[in-house]
Structure formats: C-alpha cells, structure tokens
Amino acid sequence: MCEILIKINCPHCQSSKVVKNGKKRNGEQNLLCRSCGKQFQGRYRHPGADPAVKQLAIRLLERNSGIRDIEELLGISRRCILDNLCRQGTRLKIAPARQHYQSVQIDEVWSFVGKRKKGKYWLLYAYSPEADEILAYSCGSRSASTVRELLKQLEGVAVEHYYTDHWKAFAQVLPPEKHTVGKAYTKNIEGVNTCLRARNRRLVRKTTCFSKKKENHLAALNLMFSYRNKQKAKHHTF
C-alpha cells in the first residue's frame, strides 16, 4: 500500500512521518504518526481536543500561567485545562535519579487546598544540593506521618546525612546520628522554596489561586517538580 506523507508534524513527538489514516466520524481527516504510533486529526473543531493546544496549556502551567489566563489565551475551558493538568501531572513521577546522596535537605512549605479556613496543607520535600535535584515530596498535616511518607520514597537510596529546620516531627522520624538541625544547613533548600513560591501561584503567600481539589494540587506539584528537575540541566531557567 502506498502511503502519502503529510506535511504536518506530529503534535505528540514532532516527527514529520505523518500519514493519512482514514476519516473521523465527524468528517475530519484522521492522521497517524509513524514514529510514535499516535493518531490525531488534521483539524479540531474544539481547540481543547487538539493535542498541540493541550501541550501548550501544560507549557503555560509550567511557566506559572493561571487557569483563567490560559482559558482566555487559548480559548479552551477551565474544565478542559484542569482535566489535562490532572492527566499529565499524575503521570509524572518524582523519584531520586541517583542511588547515593551525601546530603539531603528537607523543608516544608504550606499552602491551601479547598477552603482556606480548613487550614494549611503542608508540602514536605527532599532536596539534594549536590545534584540540585528534588528527590521526593509528601503532602498532608504537619506531622510525623507526613515525614515518614517522604522517607518511604527514599527507601533504597543511600543518604549519608539529613539537614532540616527545628520542626519537631523531623527529630521524631529521622535517625539522630544522620540528622543535623539548624537553619544554617538548609540555606540551599530555602532558596529553592523562594523559587517555588515565585514559580507556582498555588504556593504564593496570601494567594487566591489555591487548588479547590487535592488531586489538582498534587498534579500541579508533580508538574512543577518534574519541570524544575528537567530545567536545572539548562542552567536554572526555572
């Protein structure tokens, strides 16, 4: 069978090996990417269904655009943006890239999820200054169980020493011989905190952009951390 290559790049992998693949029920041309195997349409009636628009929405979220800004700029619904965020953000996995770290700093950042009066929702995360990498994070109350949940994600990784602030849950969970407390030792992660608050509206103090739903919040955190870990290779354009 003779296949005619179409002059259009695949919105998923940018490959130019795109061929016609029948018509959709709505009459639109269906296309198939020979490189990644994904199908897409030549034209979308609803921009929210267009994979290229979805990808752009994710790029805008990574660069700290608000849901309402994206709705306005791309002409797609809020619902569609949040579904896309959840789908793509949940798929990302934040996990240590190395087997061994000399020092790991852990710190906490608060935000809100749902109603402000329900109280703060804490984000706890582990950062390696030597690798400039966010290794893991956990969310919840300001308690030992949230610290334990974070450490569970570092199982199988050799960490020589942990540095934290005076928050007492750290001392309850971290092995004392491997744990040093003091603001002087958490300077690097404090710097990352500032970056995160500047780069994610959900973490800005006095924000009105907090998530209504926990799943949106977690997907946004996944997206933010994975973006930061990717970007550090490009000299801190985060």
Binding residues for Zn ion, per CB under 5 A?
Answer: 10, 12-13, 15, 33, 35-36
Nearest to 224 by CA among 107, 150, 125, 104: 125
**Which of 50, 71 has the CB closer to Zn ion?**
50
- Side-chain-facing half-sphere of 210: CA atoms under 13 Å: 20
E strand or H helix that includes residue 140 = strand 133-140
Cα(182)–Cα(166) distance, rounded to whole angstroms?
Answer: 7
Lay out the sheet containing 39-41: strands in order across.
Answer: 18-23, 29-33, 39-41
CB of 146 to Zn ion, least distance (A): 40
CB of 10 to Zn ion, least distance (A): 3
CB-CB contact of 45 with 60 (8 Å): no
Q: Can you tell me which residue has the tokens 């602030």?
A: 165
* Long-range contacts at 200-205 (CB < 8 A, ≥ 24 apart): 200/64, 200/224, 201/64, 201/66, 202/111, 203/109, 203/111, 203/123
**Which of 36, 195 has the CB closer to Zn ion?**
36
**Which of 15, 141 has the CB closer to Zn ion?**
15
Cα(17)–Cα(38) distance, rounded to whole angstroms?
Answer: 11
CB of 21 to Zn ion, least distance (A): 12
CB of 87 to Zn ion, least distance (A): 18
**Which of 88, 229 has the CB closer to Zn ion?**
88
CB of 26 to Zn ion, least distance (A): 22
CB of 51 to Zn ion, least distance (A): 9
**Which of 31, 113 has the CB closer to Zn ion?**
31
Counting Cβ atoms within 10 Å, is residue 9 exposed (0-12), middle (13-18) or buried (19+)?
Answer: middle
**Which of 18, 82 has the CB closer to Zn ion?**
18
CB of 14 to Zn ion, least distance (A): 7
**Which of 17, 232 has the CB closer to Zn ion?**
17
